[in-house]
Structure 1
Amino acid sequence: MRPLTCHPFIGSVAGVAALLPVLSGCASQQKEAAKQYNIVYIMTDDHTAQMMSCYDTRYVETPNLDRIANDGVRFVNSFVANSLSGPSRACMLTGKHSHANGFTDNTTCVFDGSQQTMPKLLQKAGYQTAIIGKWHLESLPTGFDYWEILPGQGDYYNPRFITMENDTIEKKGYLTNLITDMSIDWMENQRDKEKPFCLFIHHKAIHRNWLPELKYLSLYEDKTFPMPENFYDDYEGRPAAAAQEMSVWKDMDIIYDTKMYRKDKETPLKSTYESFIGRLDPEERKQYDAFYEPIIEEFYKKNPQGKELAEWKFQRYMRDYAKVVKTLDDNVGRVLDYLEEKGLMDNTLVVYTSDQGFYMGEHGWFDKRFMYEESMRTPLIMHLPKDFQTRGDIPQLVQNIDYAPTFLDLAGAPIPEDIQGVSLLPLLKGEKPADWRKSLYYHFYEYPAEHMVKRHYGVRTDRYKLIHFYNDIDEWELYDLKEDPTEMHNLFGKPGYEKITEELKQELVKLQKQYQDPIEEKLKEQKK
């Protein structure tokens, strides 16, 4: 734009009148360019897409989550880079794969809070940042103007929180409700309302051991959930899958997980369960016991064994999980209602996702970790600000390393070159970039550890998946996701798949070089 003093009409009344619309338009453009949207990021733990009715109608209804999807966008190919709670959170915060951000597993790592993170970069862009709820990165949060987090996994009943003063305090109530209470209070009473904000609402729900809100104890008790067709998977041709310890039948603890508590019954996790329900006050405990005691009595009287026990466990697991989802969905509705009542929805990006997916009996499992679909895939739905007209499904391959550059892009902040994710903003604007990624990289590190899932890395395209299990094993797996969506038939080494195997191996090497993952060099050194 030329300086105003150079405008040919600046010296006349008519000229000034003619110039006013130009000045108004310029001011409007500058205001639009400077506009910064609020971000409300709601993340749950282990909430799989199968248990959201906007993705899958077989199991439960989630009307408030559906509000986001129905009025916004639903990503139908959303995945994580490492299906484990702490590493997934580190990927989200940094926009980098686990080897690059340094937090590869939950058992040996402490998150380096001095490193570059998306919240810190948002602060530099003028945002207020806050995180409330689950942190699970061992160190204390950095890059947040306000935080109040759970110690470790946190407790569902009358939980403790760590405050910014480094005090641990106990709050009365059910955790999912409390996190929402605190989040709404921060938005209403504690933030600077002259600044844009980014609020991270991090729930413990739907994490094991699926303790329901007391008012929903009886919910779903009359429902029989359909079992996955591959519940009794025999893992033929998949030795790593056979070696896991996350079977509903064999590894789900009868007290800790299904609540069949008896003082004379000992299980490895009994004392931990006692500590969880011991947080209930006497009246709450009375209500809790009144519900479970008849179920416990009937269970030990019948004493199911074999497949009968496996299927009994599956139904209890599904019911408890669904009850925890119900409270979560209620609280998502509370956040949406608040934003609507305060007139914030038009200027706010609302994101709902989970730190990874979860097995609801597929392959006979609970938990996550594997690169198989149910745990690598994660739900991702967004309500978009009014300026964005995109609605419906977004099919492109996206990953949780993309959240950081997306939020920075939305804020008008520069995206550092070392961030490995890509901004989703073009997709939110309805664009269809021809050069969008054609594959995703995955790497899981935590072994030996709980559930004994072997270390592995791999590549996923829109149709195929190639996985390499390594460390104490050297096994490859190849799946055609179009013909075998439940990943039951390992095609690696089978006649006719030589070409696609070689292409995927080349793509895998390309991604490892792109993201600078040194695993191949390490494996070569070990073989020398």
Structure 2
Amino acid sequence: MLTDKRPWLMAMLLVVLGAGGYVALDRSGVVDGVDGGSDGPVGITIPEEPTTRGSDEPMTTRVSVENSGTRVSVAVHTGERPWSEKLAVTLNGERIVLRRGEPAPDGSCRPEVRAVRSSLLTRLTYDRACVPDRDDETSARSGTVRASVRVDGGERVRARAALSERPNVVMIMVDDMRTDELRWMPNVRKLIGKQGVTFTNGFSGFPLCCPARASVLSGQLPHNHGVWSHQPPWGFSSFEDASTFPVWLQQSGYTTTYLGKYLNGYGREPRPGNNTGTSTQYVPPGWDRWLGSVDGGMPPGHPDDGGTYRFYDTTLNDNGFGYLPLQGEYQSRAYARLTGETLEELSGQDDPFFSYVSFTAPHHGGPRESDDPEGIVTPARPKSLWGAFDDVITEAPGADWDDPDRSDKPKILRRDLSEATLRKVLAATRQRAEALTVVDESVGRIIGTLRRTGELDDTMVLFTSDNGYFQGEQGRPQGKILPYEPSLRVPVLMRGPGIPRDEVRTDPFLSVDYASTFADLADVDPTTSVDGRSLLDVARLGDESDGDTWSRVVLTETQPTRAVQAATAAVDPVGSQTDDMLLAKISGLRTGRYLYTEHQPEPGDAKPGILVELYDVLEDPEQYDNLAIDPEYADLVDELSGVLAKARTCVGSECTEQLLPANLR
């Protein structure tokens, strides 16, 4: 095992640039994409660098021009503060002046204007037929659009964009990954984060696989899409999938492909809206090429039987025409291979493509391995990686989490973890890192394929997770669902056309924002109401909010109480949406400074305990001190409770336009 007191330099001995354009960890450090037949453990040294080492956006005016699709847009980031008096935008010689407090000028060819007083971002969107031709014949022939912007009478800032095709998109999702686990993923950091932006406040508002993934696809909060759990009567069968972002993109001319884990219950549960049958050959709307992993639904002894959580025994639905078994091949590497083959096929075609690959790792799964700790779930991983992180990860992330007084906590947070349990959590932490190493290797190969086929410069690549995961924090050895930092937070990194390199964003990126962002990128309008926002301008230009806090309402939800779930399940075998369902057992708000939660007791619970929490996450990042029981914070609790009451029943624009009171930003 190589060691050095300066691990960021030592990493250069082990992390090298692979010939395919990806970062491969050397055989002396970690396997380079092929098992190689070694059964012994491999040592790894990872640089001890922060996962958000990029610079924040500069405090100057930035302008971007989007010149693809049926519309042309000019987005303006006004630097240190929102524009206060007037914003003058000249597009191909035609000038429009927006004045604060006055409506946008009328006219059949006036742009649609999105400008919020508290926002540093303003966007003007023009119908392409309304964009004036320039006198310059060269510009007219090339379709180049030129914009000039003056903010409150300041210096002109110019931008231009030639007419271009809409970009491709590759979305890479992992399962249950924490943000701090980016440490074990040098490819993701180097090839996506360093080449693009990292959102430091990615949140999964309902940190559970199925509800979170339904929010990603639909752009709706759980209280609107109705997927309240990963188990019947909710889960896959309860998701209305007729209008999701792949449907919108496909209808607009994108070629869409899907590979990997879908919604929990896919395969063994009936198709959406049905009460009987299975879904092993069901292809959800919107996908041209479908390779979703099925999880059950096969008759006993079926030769293609395989599962999403069987890392060496996965079966894919082959576009509704049978099955593609991956028996004997490690799932993450099989997904990298299949994604590469798909990208090779898509490269060079006239239509843009959207390719979604959804890895199961680091979610737990089989087969059970001889070094697995008892009573703790872990992912399977190639044997050549067993023990690779033993000298690197010396304690579980939550090993030093120690709230000295838990009397101010709800009952579910009052457990203590023994040293023996923490040792098991440490073993699981190491195994998760080993499984993520293979995903990171796969990301490198995907980027390498895009580069080799000439598609990389025209492709938006986004990496994220469905939710986070506990590893000892809050007295939770494992799991998610609860609205505390390790569970809520997810990595979000993005690179692609118009995205600056090596910058960070502190505005929140929510599960419901992916659909709107992809629709914006593809120049299409969602065909149903959505609760999320496009973060495309934020990614390209900078945060909407000045500083590291934000004005946006970030809602957290969980399942309703067990009594409500049971009553609803007895009435509707595929899930339903009732007034009772809208009241989650735990719902809350995450602002830039506070986490506020409200707990609903189970009916008949005579001693429900603490039901309201308030933590100052800036002063108390471990969330030890519940300020809600302090009378000095009574007014703040009342204010947050009022904001939450509106947020947990909001729909569409009510969600996107709801802003925090000024004192909560």
Residue of structure 1 equivalent to 2:448: 337
Q: Report the 3-state secondary structure (helix = DSSP H, G, I; strand = E; otherwise coil) of the residue aligned with 1:317.
A: helix
Residue identity matched to 2:165 = K
Residue identity matched to 1:212 = R
**Greater mean alpha carbon deviation, residues 84-93 or residues 180-189:** 180-189
Query: Does the C-alpha gap of structure 1 residues 426 and 169 become closer, same or farther in structure 2, counting only changes over 3 Å?
Result: closer
Structure 1 residue 114 displacement after superposition: 4.2
**Greater mean alpha carbon deviation, residues 223-232 or residues 97-106:** 223-232
- Residue 120, structure 1, aligned to residue 247, structure 2: yes
- 1:313-332, aligned counterparts within 5 Å? 313-332=424-443
Query: Does the C-alpha gap of structure 1 residues 361 and 31 become closer, same or farther in structure 2, counting only changes over 3 Å?
Result: same
Instruction: Pick the aligned partner of 2:410 from 234, 239, 245.
Output: 239
Residue of structure 1 equivalent to 2:166: 36
- 1:359-378, aligned counterparts within 5 Å? 359-364=470-475, 365-378=477-490
**Greater mean alpha carbon deviation, residues 159-168 or residues 406-415:** 159-168
Structure 1 residue 446 displacement after superposition: 6.4
Query: Does the C-alpha gap of structure 1 residues 175 and 223 become closer, same or farther in structure 2, counting only changes over 3 Å?
Result: same
Structure 1 residue 116 displacement after superposition: 1.1
Maintained 8 Å contact 1:390/1:430: no
Residue of structure 2 equivalent to 1:162: 317
Residue of structure 1 equivalent to 2:293: 150
Maintained 8 Å contact 2:406/2:414: no
Query: Does the C-alpha gap of structure 1 residues 168 and 342 become closer, same or farther in structure 2, counting only changes over 3 Å?
Result: closer
Q: Distance in 2 between matches of 1:446 and 1:348?
A: 40
Instruction: Pick the aligned partner of 1:457 from 587, 595, 619.
Output: 587
Q: Report the 3-state secondary structure (helix = DSSP H, G, I; strand = E; otherwise coil) of the residue aligned with 2:627.
A: coil
Structure 1 residue 188 displacement after superposition: 1.0
- Residue 515, structure 1, aligned to residue 651, structure 2: yes
Q: Distance in 2 between matches of 1:131 and 1:185?
A: 13
Q: Report the 3-state secondary structure (helix = DSSP H, G, I; strand = E; otherwise coil) of the residue aligned with 1:378.
A: strand
Residue of structure 2 equivalent to 1:226: 395
Residue identity matched to 2:339 = S
Maintained 8 Å contact 2:389/2:433: yes
TM-score by length of structure 2 reads 0.60
Query: Does the C-alpha gap of structure 1 residues 392 and 400 become closer, same or farther in structure 2, counting only changes over 3 Å?
Result: same
Residues 13-56 of structure 1: CA deviation (Å, up to 9, x unaligned): xxxxx863253244678994562010100000001111112xxx
Instruction: Pick the aligned partner of 1:71 from 187, 195, 216.
Output: 195
Q: Distance in 1 between matches of 2:145 and 2:187?
A: 38
Query: Does the C-alpha gap of structure 1 residues 61 and 45 become closer, same or farther in structure 2, counting only changes over 3 Å?
Result: closer
Q: Distance in 2 between matches of 1:431 and 1:50?
A: 23
Aligned residue pairs: how many?
432
Q: Distance in 1 between matches of 2:336 and 2:238?
A: 25
- Residue 389, structure 1, aligned to residue 506, structure 2: no
Residue of structure 1 equivalent to 2:137: 20
Structure 1 residue 422 displacement after superposition: 0.3
Q: Relative contact order (alpha carbons < 8 A, sep ≥ 6): 1 or 2 greater?
A: 1
Structure 1 residue 502 displacement after superposition: 1.6
Q: Distance in 1 between matches of 2:434 and 2:561?
A: 31
Structure 1 residue 187 displacement after superposition: 1.4
Q: Report the 3-state secondary structure (helix = DSSP H, G, I; strand = E; otherwise coil) of the residue aligned with 1:198.
A: strand
Query: Does the C-alpha gap of structure 1 residues 320 and 115 become closer, same or farther in structure 2, counting only changes over 3 Å?
Result: same
Maintained 8 Å contact 2:346/2:353: no
- Residue 80, structure 1, aligned to residue 204, structure 2: yes
Query: Does the C-alpha gap of structure 1 residues 501 and 125 become closer, same or farther in structure 2, counting only changes over 3 Å?
Result: same
- Identify, as 1 or 2, the structure richer in helix: 1
Instruction: Pick the aligned partner of 1:438 from 552, 556, 564.
Output: 552
- Residue 476, structure 1, aligned to residue 615, structure 2: no
Residue of structure 2 equivalent to 1:134: 261
Structure 1 residue 229 displacement after superposition: 5.2
Q: Distance in 2 between matches of 1:494 and 1:315?
A: 36
- Identify, as 1 or 2, the structure richer in strand: 2
Q: Distance in 2 between matches of 1:84 and 1:186?
A: 29
Q: Report the 3-state secondary structure (helix = DSSP H, G, I; strand = E; otherwise coil) of the residue aligned with 1:343.
A: coil
Structure 1 residue 231 displacement after superposition: 4.0
Structure 1 residue 429 displacement after superposition: 2.1
Residue of structure 2 equivalent to 1:185: 341
Structure 1 residue 159 displacement after superposition: 1.9
Query: Does the C-alpha gap of structure 1 residues 238 and 487 become closer, same or farther in structure 2, counting only changes over 3 Å?
Result: same
Maintained 8 Å contact 1:65/1:329: no
Query: Does the C-alpha gap of structure 1 residues 31 and 224 become closer, same or farther in structure 2, counting only changes over 3 Å?
Result: closer
Maintained 8 Å contact 1:62/1:329: yes
Q: Distance in 2 between matches of 1:437 and 1:36?
A: 31
Q: Report the 3-state secondary structure (helix = DSSP H, G, I; strand = E; otherwise coil) of the residue aligned with 2:287.
A: coil
Residue of structure 1 equivalent to 2:632: 496
Residue identity matched to 1:135 = Y
Maintained 8 Å contact 2:585/2:600: yes
Residues 442-489 of structure 1: CA deviation (Å, up to 9, x unaligned): 11116659xxxx921111110011101114157111111111111122
Question: What 5-or-longer segments of structure 2 have no aligned partner?
Answer: 1-91, 94-134, 147-159, 272-281, 296-307, 365-377, 564-583, 603-607, 656-665
Residue of structure 1 equivalent to 2:331: 175
Residue identity matched to 2:227 = F
Question: What 5-or-longer segments of structure 1 have no aligned partner?
Answer: 3-17, 54-59, 250-305, 519-528
Q: Distance in 2 between matches of 1:356 and 1:160?
A: 24
Maintained 8 Å contact 1:439/1:462: no
**Greater mean alpha carbon deviation, residues 87-96 or residues 147-156:** 147-156
Structure 1 residue 434 displacement after superposition: 5.5
Structure 1 residue 162 displacement after superposition: 2.2
**Greater mean alpha carbon deviation, residues 193-202 or residues 129-138:** 129-138
**Greater mean alpha carbon deviation, residues 146-155 or residues 160-169:** 160-169
Q: Distance in 2 between matches of 1:61 and 1:40?
A: 18
Residues 328-354 of structure 1: CA deviation (Å, up to 9, x unaligned): 111111111111112211111100000
**Greater mean alpha carbon deviation, residues 175-184 or residues 431-440:** 431-440
Q: Report the 3-state secondary structure (helix = DSSP H, G, I; strand = E; otherwise coil) of the residue aligned with 2:647.
A: helix
**Greater mean alpha carbon deviation, residues 230-239 or residues 116-125:** 230-239
Instruction: Pick the aligned partner of 2:385 from 216, 233, 248.
Output: 216
Maintained 8 Å contact 2:142/2:163: no
Query: Does the C-alpha gap of structure 1 residues 434 and 395 become closer, same or farther in structure 2, counting only changes over 3 Å?
Result: closer
Structure 1 residue 199 displacement after superposition: 0.6
Structure 1 residue 503 displacement after superposition: 1.8
- Residue 412, structure 1, aligned to residue 555, structure 2: no
Structure 1 residue 315 displacement after superposition: 2.4
Maintained 8 Å contact 1:81/1:441: yes
Residues 173-209 of structure 1: CA deviation (Å, up to 9, x unaligned): 1000111111111111267821101111000001013
